Amino acid sequence: MDLPKNRFKAALKDGRHQLGIWSGLGGHIAPEILATCGFDWVLIDAEHGPMEPIDVLPALQAISGYPDVTAIVRPADHSASVIKRLLDMGA
């Protein structure tokens, strides 16, 4: 099984310009709307937004329906357990 290509990392490596936006709202509605606006990436800000790690999952699921958009997560805590949970969710 081949892993999906990480378009965000590939663009960084190639030095290509990217346009993205930060979302600090909980839930899935705002991230999904942002995913349809032509951005290359949407960052889910769990550090300054009103969400716990489990609240990030609906946002990741909503963005995953748009293959041209990369979902990025900014964790509230840099502990290994929080980061592992976010990675397990697909961040």
Active site members: 48
What angle is formed at CA 26 by the lines to CA 24 and CA 30, rounded to 5 degrees?
A: 75
**Chain-centre distance for alpha carbon 76:** 14
Of 46, 39, 89, the residue nearest 69 (C-alpha): 39
Residues 72 and 42: their CA atoms lie apart, in Å, by: 6
Token digits of residue 26? 């909980």
